[in-house]
Structure 1
């Protein structure tokens, strides 16, 4: 009798787990596809390998899978390849469902090729997500589930935990909140790069983020994700030394041009206080957010370690892992390998090996962070057997520029899967910010599953064209094939791609001039693609985004070509031609602002509105707005190396920030010529000082009042613009 009760209890537990998975995926369908709840019927299957199956049965679409995440990916497969529906990563990305759900002519079963599918980057929390509320997070988490992501970086709300830890150790409220940075800059505080920039951090932010992270982690786990939580990396408030005078706390060198007052302090992992802080942080974090035992710790991101001696690096890594295991015996230490790429001359293989193999391999997980540029697994003997995730980065600063080499991505991922079967744990994407190339990341995550189109780029592109327009259309397919054969077939060769228009104005270098033929060639392709898309009859939001996005690129390219003629006119001292070309470029700026204004994701006004919404009073609203403006312009203070790093070709900024800088440049150059002088270094330095003053005034003085909702029909606007230039 007792044995029967035990078996019955176990059966109830299993059924409960199955019911939870099915309930979770039903909830996703209800949120994303209302009206389709009765279309799908779900079946939970056994087994640990992620797999989904689709089939039609009667009037139902039967979705089977081993968990909610697999079933969600199956739903997305049905939506994309049978309904021609693409669900975007932003809540503003709308779509239309077919009135009659398509049947599946032949059953489909697809397995995952890798266990882990990682997503996000510390920087994404500054360049894209700092102002998100739950509604945007809820949609995004559903998008991650649809794309099979099961290992998301989850670092929201950690400052609320740190506040508790530092308070317990005796630091005051003012000291702690002045140690933090402003919200948009917190990723670089978390990576031990900067302290105090835009401090103090309001208490309302800490409280709001704590509640938000609770909802984020709960929903991610509901959809079978393992949130990667933060842990202690040695970063401490400088004032901690006054409470623990014997602690080995070192002031790190200033990061990337910041003044010394913003430098971070680092507690030596060998110090007993390190283990004490690690344990307390994880205890509190676990009590508030729970844990899946995966923790992100990056000790030396873009900073120099106290020593590069292999013995030291081995000892430090071993001690950091020991502190983590002391707090959570099941802990897995996840870290990005960006530091090995960033300082390749210093991180030699003997040092990397000593650092990575100092603790158990099965307690480690690495992110090969920038495989679109350099696959570190190839130069480190496959990370010496330590499990790693192949990652596509593809974007710096959330920049708005077309980029993404699908053929290279395909080839490199297939090669890694063939050569690293022993320790390739997964596939990931580590974009710094959401950009204007969302489909590239969807392609990366489809590669993590074993179905035919994941090896054939051309077939995948045809399906993408159908999804973007909502139908099979010859013009759309031809347009996308042309795009992928040209623009989306260029390997990234720089860390940061930036249109000339978004740079602080100056005359072109010889290297920039050499790019003009390539830009002109790209313009011809873009014009042909846009004209083909204009022949498509579609009301899909994704279709209208593509028209605006491609025209945005066309206009910024055209601006560069016109400026090249302006520079030649300057060299010829042809003031009349210069004025005509300056006027033409001013018109391009106005047209660019108008076309990006048709899309919600290209609105400066929305970014600012979302930031201000976190403020509980006028002063806090101003604080958040200034922080939001700062990071997408000068990034820090005026005239530092990070200026324009996170540029945005967004409506509002185009006219009032970039446009004003160009108007100032044209005026300064003309003034020099009128005075019969060259626009030499002295003239440029004087002009640059004025521009720097303006840039700071733009973000600090909150120049401009921008629309937070899109205006105009992109198709109409694009046609008007093309008619003007042809």
Structure 2
């Protein structure tokens, strides 16, 4: 056993790596790390294990040119590590570095096992994260609480959601969808969360648990004789009820909840609570009393605990937090890069008083629904952080957060955001990208740098005032129609960049492919950037299809449609070369968690429905949820998206001379695929560079 957990982390990255480092934990008033050399070894000094891990990562990036990323968590360090010739020190007063969104736990992490979680916790530590949302197993807490309140197993499972939908259940948006869960699910989640929390605490990472904020099952009014309000519907689903804080049983149920949470996982110093999330009706609720009751219940469990709240839409309600003691709450400004609420007057979600003097974190949301696609506001994210620091609201700015709905995408943007606390002065993306390219690929390459500059000035340069929800969505993933633009209901997409810039950047990337064969980071980025270029081509060819249809040029429509479907097929083949872009990686994680065939089928169904229809017919079509979590993935492109497009194209051609096309019931087609017994392999096919080169010849 090593003397400290940072050495263990180094061993997990590369066996034997810890012998090259001297890790020194020292007391200090400020958060810091320091790099130095002594007797041929690298000295990393810091005031806690997370900052030491962040120091190790800084050294790996800026000295050893090794980039640790979701696609690259096992690395090979050089036998002789570069010396730190002059001691380097980084301090920060950004005490809190937050990670995750409730949605991340469902859109990316729903079916993770311990092996994958272990890598993620290492990633967090290396990126300086010290307070991640840690909600695995909360369903088991609820199961036990409801049992104590007199609910039987079936009634409990009508309330608790299935594995693909826990995020929205915990955010009080819906109940029951995707279930019922087998008993083994709860046992499994308790064991997994215990491992997660143990490792986090070993590394000095403080988990943020889900606290109690008044959620009860819809039937609690009758069954438990409670005074509840009805928060209404969410995207066609009935929300859970809200227990009025004035009801004497609020304290009783909150106490039961915290006792059970503590019994299973220990006490946390941070609890996350977001009542009235996304339009929850507050009619008849005394918000001031609600805030005080929620805070009081948490403080009874742990007097030192801090309430963590997400600033999203109208939350947290000003009336709910204004009379709470400053220092007892941290507000996550969830979408700081596009809709800041900290007090920026240019924001569409402007709050004149910010968070009324409560501490807050500058967060980047970036990704919605786990959608695949290049996206970001690279320079703007830097500028806004330093701008926020310089305003009066900077006095209560206590850190940063990454609050994406889905991870394992756009690693460049998360790398950038996680570095912000360790930079004391504003810097330019262009200079930062020089170092990023060098560490990402192990050496500097001008063609790759030029490609990244081109991307950073186009697709990664989403306008400051844009409020679009993540990536410019791929037309391949859209439900077909004569007027396809965005894929998901709320994306607010705009054509803010020239697609030819992305295609040109992909060409530059491909021009050096032979020099980087076998380089994991290069091959991941090459596939991702070429994927984006093919998606851009697809959108351009779709426009030709529609022009031909409107001009009644049948031959041209057929020709353009054939080209469109060929591009979609190329996309599927390209993405099949990397496990990160394979549907089978996602569905197999789900299947592998099942102990019986019935369980395997339930989890796989959850995995498939979440990324397609999302909900039942009402929620998918009328509630707008269908394709919200669409993924440009191999397997899904070939069998799901291509199936929809073929149906549409065949329908147009067969109705060419009629006044109106036949209406297609897409939901019935989608549901058929979701319920089909087809299983997808996680195995990749083909060499990424070879396949990419073949495709490049066809699109450039």
Q: Which structure features the higher share of helix residues?
A: 1
Q: Quick check: 2:141–2:257 contact (8 Å CA) kept in 1?
A: yes
- Which residue of structure 2 lines up, in the alignment, with residue 292 of structure 1? 268
Aligned with residue 506 of structure 1, among 477, 481, 484: 481
Counterpart Cα distance in 2 of 1:595 and 1:234: 48
Partner of 2:46: 65
Q: Distance in 2 between matches of 1:591 and 1:386?
A: 51
1:548-627 alignment, distance < 5 Å: 548-627=527-606
Asked whether the equivalents of residues 455 and 501 of structure 2 are also in contact (C-alpha less than 8 Å), the reply is no
Q: Which residue of 2 aligns with 1:84?
A: 65
Q: 1:516 to 1:425 in 2, by over 3 A?
A: closer
Of 14, 17, 23, the residue aligned with 1:36 is: 17
Secondary structure of the structure 2 residue equivalent to 1:339: coil
SS of the aligned residue for 1:426 comes to strand
Tell me the matched-pair count: 680
Deviations 1:536-594 (A, max 9, x none): 43532110011100111111110111111111111121211111111111111111001
Q: Distance in 2 between the 1:153 and 1:29 partners?
A: 24
Tell me the residue number matched to 1:219: 199
Instruction: Check conservation: 1:152, 1:226, Cα contact below 8 A.
Output: yes
Aligned to 2:280: 304
Corresponding residue to 2:469 among 484, 495, 499:
495
Q: Which moved more, 1:380-389 or 1:127-136?
A: 380-389
**1:278 aligned to 2:254?**
yes
Change (3 A) 1:339 1:524: closer
Question: Do the aligned partners of residues 456 and 515 (structure 1) sit closer, same or farther apart at CA in structure 2, a change above 3 Å counting?
Answer: closer
- Which 5+ residue runs of structure 1 have no aligned equivalent? 1-18, 342-346
Query: How far 1:391 moved relative to its partner?
Result: 0.6
Q: Which residue of 1 aligns with 2:287?
A: 313
Q: Which residue does the alignment assign to 1:670?
A: 653
**Post-superposition CA distance 1:236-263 (Å, at most 9, x none):** 1234334422x102343121123xxx43
Deviation by residue 1:587-612 (Cα, 9 ceiling, x = unmatched): 11111001111111111011111001
Shift of 1:85: 0.8
The CA distance in 1 between the partners of 2:435 and 2:211, in whole Å, is 41
Q: What is the aligned counterpart of 2:336 among 356, 368, 371?
A: 371
Aligned to 1:195: 175
- What is aligned with 1:361? 326
Q: CA deviation at 1:308?
A: 8.1
Quick check: 1:392–1:431 contact (8 Å CA) kept in 2? yes
CA separation in 1, counterparts of 2:574 and 2:434?
26
When the two structures are superposed, what TM-score results if normalisation uses the length of structure 2?
0.93
Taking a change above 3 Å as real, the CA distance of residues 494 and 95 of structure 1, as seen in their structure-2 partners, is same
| Residues 461 and 449 of structure 1: CA distance in aligned 2, closer, same or farther (over 3 Å) | same
Partner Cα separation in structure 1 for residue 413 and residue 334 of structure 2? 16
Shift of 1:486: 2.2
Partner residue in 2 for 1:544:
523
Q: CA deviation at 1:524?
A: 3.9
C-alpha contact (below 8 Å) 1:604/1:652 kept by paired residues: yes
Return the offset for 1:669. 0.5
Judging changes above 3 Å, is the alpha-carbon distance between structure 1 residues 93 and 649 closer, same or farther for their aligned structure 2 residues?
Answer: farther
- Report the counterpart of residue 420 of structure 2 in structure 1: 447
**Which residues of 2 match residues 623-662 of structure 1 at below 5 A?**
623-638=602-617, 639-640=620-621, 641-662=624-645
**d(CA) in 2 for partners of 1:210 and 1:294?**
19
Is 2:89 the partner of 1:109? yes
User: Do 1:96 and 1:540's aligned partners in 2 also have CA atoms closer than 8 Å?
Assistant: no
The question of 1:255 aligning with 2:234 is answered yes
Q: Give the whole-Å Cα distance in 2 for the aligned partners of 1:462 and 1:235.
A: 49
Q: How far apart in 2 are the matches of 1:31 and 1:535?
A: 30
Q: Of residues 301, 304, 314 in structure 2, which corresponds to 1:327?
A: 301
Q: Normalising by the residue count of structure 1, what TM-score does the alignment of the two structures yield?
A: 0.90
Displacement of 1:404 in angstroms is 0.6
Distance, in Å, in 1 between the alignment partners of 2:125 and 2:132 is 10
Q: Distance in 1 between matches of 2:457 and 2:502?
A: 14
SS of 2:395's equivalent in the other structure is: coil
CA RMSD of aligned residues (A): 2.1
Is 1:708 the counterpart of 2:682 in the alignment? yes
1:421 paired with 2:394, answer yes
Which whole-Å CA distance do the structure 1 matches of 2:319 and 2:406 have between them? Answer: 32
Report if the CA contact (8 A) 1:95-1:541 is conserved.
Answer: no
Question: Which residue of 2 is the match for residue 698 of structure 1?
Answer: 673
2:233 is paired with a residue whose SS is coil
The answer to whether the Cα contact below 8 Å between 1:24 and 1:223 also exists between their aligned partners in 2 is yes
User: SS of the residue aligned with 2:559?
Assistant: helix
Q: Tell me if the contact between 2:584 and 2:680 (Cα under 8 Å) persists in the aligned partners.
A: yes
Give the 3-state SS of the residue equivalent to 2:314 in structure 1.
Answer: helix
Q: Which moved more, 1:536-545 or 1:272-281?
A: 536-545
1:461 maps to 433
Contact 2:534–2:699 under 8 Å retained in 1: no
Q: Is the 8 A contact 1:523 1:558 kept in 2?
A: no
Aligned to 2:347: none
Query: Are 1:151 and 1:227, in contact at CA under 8 Å, matched by a contact in 2?
Result: yes
CA distance in 1 between partners of 2:587 and 2:295 (Å): 41
Query: Structure 1 residue 515: deviation in Å?
Result: 7.0
Residues 1:124 and 2:104 aligned together:
yes
Q: In the alignment, does 2:473 pair up with 1:473? A: no
Could you list the structure 1 runs, at least 4 aligned residues long, displaced by more than 4 angstroms after superposition. Answer: 509-512, 514-519
From the CA coordinates, give the structure whose radius of gyration is larger.
1
